[in-house]
Structure 1
Amino acid sequence: MTQRETACQVIPFPAAKRTGRIQRVAGFLSTQRGRGGEAYWQRITDDMHRQMTKAGIDPDTIARELEEFRRAVAGAMVQGGAA
């Protein structure tokens, strides 16, 4: 690293705090069964993964954020708050 280069860490907005997106995804998934829901979930998580990768977020953080998002969506579905 040269004097002009500095190391930085990109910190994403916590995926589990994206309440609007969590509610939309949970609402949609609660109405889908089988392949439709699976394809939608895969598309959502692929898009999130791609965005975080493009932003320079490290793979461990991406995995952790996606897992927290999954838990938040599952929790919203259990609570019946998906709308």
Structure 2
Amino acid sequence: MNGGFFTVEPTIATWNEQTKPDRQACADRISTTATESLPVTSGARFCVTTAEGRTAYTEVEKMDKALAAYTATITVWEESTGASS
């Protein structure tokens, strides 16, 4: 969505803390401050719920506004085990 995240329900929340979150911290942030859309910029960090219902953390490395595309590192946790993939 023109350089931003857009979902059909509140499943994404900004992560502004200094340290990288664990699965529970991201899940808590989503449950308290989730929204349906957020702008994506270089350096932005987000907690999200995937289409499969898993919790994930996204760090945007760079944004190409001309292409409305970004490069990011994403951590997705398995809900039952707490392991990341």
State TM-score, norm by structure 2.
Answer: 0.27
| Bigger radius of gyration among the two | 1
Q: If each structure's strand is expressed as a fraction of its own residues, which one has the higher value?
A: 2
State TM-score, norm by structure 1.
Answer: 0.27
- Structure having greater relative contact order (Cα 8 Å, sep ≥ 6): 1
